[in-house]
C-alpha cells in the first residue's frame, strides 16, 4: 500500500474526507492563503496541492528543499532517513555515475512512498503592449494565439 493509499484509507476509516491543502498563491485572498500555508507547514493536511517543483540550478536534481526532512519547501512533511542521507551524498559526490545511482535510488523511494503527486497544468498569461494590433478582443480568447501570431502587427507610437 502506498503512502497516498494509506492516507485515503485513514480518512475513509475515520468517516471523513481527506483534507487537501491547496496553495493558490493569494487566491481567493491573501489571508486565506496564509492560513492554508500555515496549516500545510504545520502538517495539518492529509495532502496538499501546491505549485512547486524540485531541483537545483546546479545541474543536479537537488531536491533537499522539497524532500529532506524539515526542508524549506517540504509541505508534505515527507521524512525518510535514507532519502536524507542520499540527498546529502548526491550534492557532494563527484563521480557522475555514482550521482546517477544516488538520484535513481531517491526516485525509487519517492515513487514507492508517494509523499506527493506532481500534476502538470498549463496556465499561461500573455501580456501585450498597446502598440500590438490584431489581438483578440478578450484575453480569454488568447489561449491559442501562437498559430495566428503572423496576423499581429505593431503600430509605431
User: Which of 120, 107, 108, 117 lies closest to 18 in space, CA to CA?
Assistant: 117
Same domain, 86 and 136: no
Residues 71 and 20 placed together within one structural domain of the fold: yes
Q: Confirm whether 121 is domain-assigned.
A: no
pLDDT, residue 31, reads 78
Residue 130's pLDDT is what? 77
The predicted structure's pLDDT at residue 59? 63
- What is the model's pLDDT at position 23? 56
What is the widest separation between alpha-carbon atoms in the chain? 66
Supply the mean pLDDT for the chain: 75
DSSP H or E segment with residue 50? strand 47-50
Q: Domain range spanning residue 61?
A: 3-113
Q: What is the pLDDT of residue 140?
A: 52
User: Residues 98, 157: one domain?
Assistant: no
| Residue 151 CB partners (closer than 8 Å, separation 6+) | 134
Residue pLDDT, tens place only, 68-123: 998 877 877 889 999 999 999 999 999 989 999 999 999 899 888 877 766 655 56
DSSP state of 28: S
Domain count, the chain: 2
Whether 134 has a pLDDT exceeding 70, the answer reads yes
With respect to residue 118, please indicate whether it lies within any of the assigned structural domains: no
Q: Are residues 157 and 96 in the same domain?
A: no
* pLDDT reported for residue 121: 58
Q: Is the model's pTM score more than 0.85?
A: no
- 11: CB partners within 8 A, 6+ apart: 17, 18, 19, 46
The 10s digit of each residue's pLDDT in 8-54 is: 788 788 887 666 655 555 556 777 777 777 777 676 766 666 555 55
C-alpha dihedral, 143 to 147 to 150 to 155, nearest 10°: 0
Q: Within this chain, do residues 62 and 91 fall inside the same structural domain, yes or no?
A: yes
Nearest by Cα to 24 from 54, 52, 50: 50
Question: Do 109 and 130 share a domain, yes or no?
Answer: no
In DSSP terms, 154 is beta-bridged to 132
pLDDT at position 141, please? 56
Among 69, 149, 61, 153, which Cα is nearest to 115's? 69
Amino acid at each position: 500500500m502506498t503512502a497516498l493509499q494509506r492516507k485515503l484509507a485513514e480518512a475513509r476509516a475515520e468517516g471523513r474526507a481527506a483534507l487537501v491543502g491547496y496553495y493558490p498563491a493569494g487566491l481567493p485572498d491573501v489571508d486565506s492563503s496564509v492560513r492554508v500555508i500555515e496549516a500545510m507547514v504545520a502538517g495539518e493536511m492529509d495532502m496538499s496541492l501546491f505549485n512547486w517543483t524540485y531541483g537545483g540550478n546546479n545541474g543536479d536534481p537537488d531536491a533537499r528543499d522539497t524532500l529532506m526532512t524539515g526542508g524549506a519547501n517540504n509541505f508534505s512533511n515527507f521524512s525518510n532517513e535514507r532519502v536524507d542521507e542520499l540527498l546529502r551524498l548526491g550534492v557532494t559526490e563527484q563521480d557522475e555515475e555514482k550521482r546517477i545511482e544516488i538520484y535513481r535510488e531517491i526516485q525509487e523511494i519517492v515513487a514507492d512512498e508517494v509523499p506527493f503527486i506532481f500534476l502538470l497544468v498549463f496556465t499561461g498569461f500573455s501580456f501585450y503592449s498597446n502598440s500590438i494590433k490584431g489581438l483578440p478582443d478578450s484575453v480569454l480568447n488568447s489561449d491559442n494565439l501562437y498559430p495566428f501570431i503572423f496576423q499581429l502587427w505593431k503600430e509605431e507610437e
